Amino acid sequence: MAPGRPEPLRRTSYGAASPLVGERGARTRALILEVALALLGTKGAQQTTMDDIAGGGGVSRATLYQYFESKEQIFAELVEESGAALLRVLRRVGPLGADDAGFAAVQAWLADWTVLYSRYSEVFAQWSAIEALQRSRQSMLAGWMTNYVKRLTPLLGAADPSVVEPPQLAIAVWALFERSSFSMTRQSAGPQQLSDLAVVVQLMLFPDTPVTVLGSSMSAHPLPRGLEQAAAERPTVEQASEQAAAGPPTDEQKRADAGGSRRHGGGPEALRTAERILDVGGRLFTIAGFHAVSVEQVARAAQVGRGTFYKYFDNKADLLGVLSVECSERMTALGEALSERMANEEPRRALGEWLEEFLAFHRVYAGVWRVWSDEPALVQGIVDRREAARDALRRGLIRLVGAVARPYPLTDAAVAEILCSLLQRFPDQATGTAFACEPEESALRLRLLIERAFLNIGSSEAR
């Protein structure tokens, strides 16, 4: 550098307060994050590339890499951003209890949550897929869940701990809020569905809440515009949408549509081998997530070679296609079995016996169920099976929750959907944290939670 010439300024940060970047750099960085957030909804974490993000934001690759080293870093920042926003919502929760003020606090909490969820729904839905991209061995989701439970548990101090401990209540509330909001966003929910969710959460926390309190509506907390119109107004990236929809079905998609594999040939021994691969694959998808599991891991856990795996399945997507067929059949059978039990048994007895069958199903197929609900683009064959199975399960759950006569307005179909959210998420939500419990304990807590939140109308005594 020539003597006397000033040293050139270099970027040392990209925050809004940076004297070298300032507002323009902060806007570019925020735009990149917005585009990545939109692409989560159109292409998914696994399929989105840095080129997609650059193209969607109208910036060059060079500019993009000035701000982020990789898509993994972008998505990790979105996870941190959404998690921090959720914890801020918790700090605003008012005192909870079984009176009017306590129920109003639940309603306000839910209203705040839905505003937040309307922005970050795809991050929450694809958290496990984002996590699978990270090289760190430490689970982002488990770490965040631990922090969330520790922050929420003190707020539940007034809840009755004699049935379900506050940390388990915190996990159940998260499962209800997150999955129910996901479903309502997809289905363009109305105010009544939010009111139903508020009643369910209130009864889960305070089962002796007077029915006069539970009759209060969410009118004081109007439905956030972001949730009401989420389906129509969710950020989109035209380029990503066109890429996701373009082109004829691939051979892989056609096989998934047909549920195709070669597992039925080769005699009893071959069939047992294929079934072992399917069982191990389903359990690994449940424990680690579909995207985090490799063919090599499935083969090793099933005690077969890679070559043997490929004798029965073309790839991991083919394995998922076959598991989807089995998951659909099992879920449909579970829904029909619950409907039959409800025709002949008292609700609590029917629930207890049915839950044992359900949790056995969940241990194998929860990972497939998660892919069904969280992936933005599924082949039509899997979509059709998912919808048929969910319809059968919903019919059984409607029969269950509809058996309770409530003196305040509640929509059976909406409450059944909320119960479905709890069934999907609660059994393994605490995996990897200090709050995880043995299957028998989880089954007991789930039954108690359902009884107090869905089969209980509250107290007839005013406070």
Question: Measured between alpha carbons, how far is residue 64 from residues 59, 133, 308 in Å?
Answer: 7, 19, 43
Q: Nearest-CA neighbor of 422 among 170, 125, 179?
A: 179
Is residue 195 a part of any domain in this protein? no
- On the question of pLDDT at 288 being above 90, the answer is no
pLDDT digits (tens, 9 = 90+) for 227-279: 444 334 433 333 323 333 333 334 444 344 444 444 545 688 889 999 999 99
Residue 412 burial class via C-beta count within 10 angstroms: exposed 0-12, middle 13-18, buried 19 and up: middle
Is residue 463 a part of any domain in this protein? no
Question: Range of 419's domain?
Answer: 246-440
* Section 412-424 average pLDDT: 92
* Section 211-228 average pLDDT: 60
* Section 329-336 average pLDDT: 96
Lowest mean pLDDT among 237-246, 297-306, 336-345: 237-246
* Section 342-364 average pLDDT: 92
- On the question of pLDDT at 13 being above 90, the answer is no
Confidence of residue 391 (pLDDT cuts 50, 70, 90): very high
Close Cβ partners of 175 (under 8 Å, ≥ 6 residues apart)? 421, 422, 424, 425, 426, 429
- On the question of pLDDT at 18 being above 60, the answer is no
Percent helix, percent strand, percent coil in the chain, to nearest 5: 70, 0, 30
Share of the chain above pLDDT 70, in %: 79
Task: Please state the domain count of the chain.
Answer: 1
- On the question of pLDDT at 381 being above 50, the answer is yes
What is the model's pLDDT at position 42? 85
Is residue 203 a part of any domain in this protein? no
What is the model's pLDDT at position 31? 94
For residues 280 and 302, is the Cβ–Cβ distance under 8 A?
yes
- On the question of pLDDT at 392 being above 90, the answer is yes
What is the model's pLDDT at position 227? 42
Is residue 324 a part of any domain in this protein? yes
Region for 237 from its dihedrals, namely left if φ exceeds 0, alpha if ψ lies in -120 to 50, beta otherwise: beta
Is residue 53 a part of any domain in this protein? no
What is the model's pLDDT at position 106? 94
* Section 310-319 average pLDDT: 94
Q: Residues 29-62, buried b or exposed e (16+ Cβ, 10 A)?
A: bebbbbbbbbbbbbbbbebbebebbbbbbebeee
Is residue 369 a part of any domain in this protein? yes
Lowest mean pLDDT among 8-17, 93-102, 213-222, 417-426: 8-17
* CATH number, residue 434: 1.10.357.10
Rounded Cα distance, 86 and 80, in Å: 10
pLDDT digits (tens, 9 = 90+) for 90-111: 999 999 999 999 999 999 999 8
Per-chain mean pLDDT for the chain: 81
Is residue 199 a part of any domain in this protein? no
- On the question of pLDDT at 119 being above 80, the answer is yes
What is the model's pLDDT at position 245? 33
Higher model confidence: residue 287 or residue 48?
48
Confidence of residue 436 (pLDDT cuts 50, 70, 90): confident
For residues 41 and 122, is the Cβ–Cβ distance under 8 A?
yes
Share of the chain above pLDDT 90, in %: 43
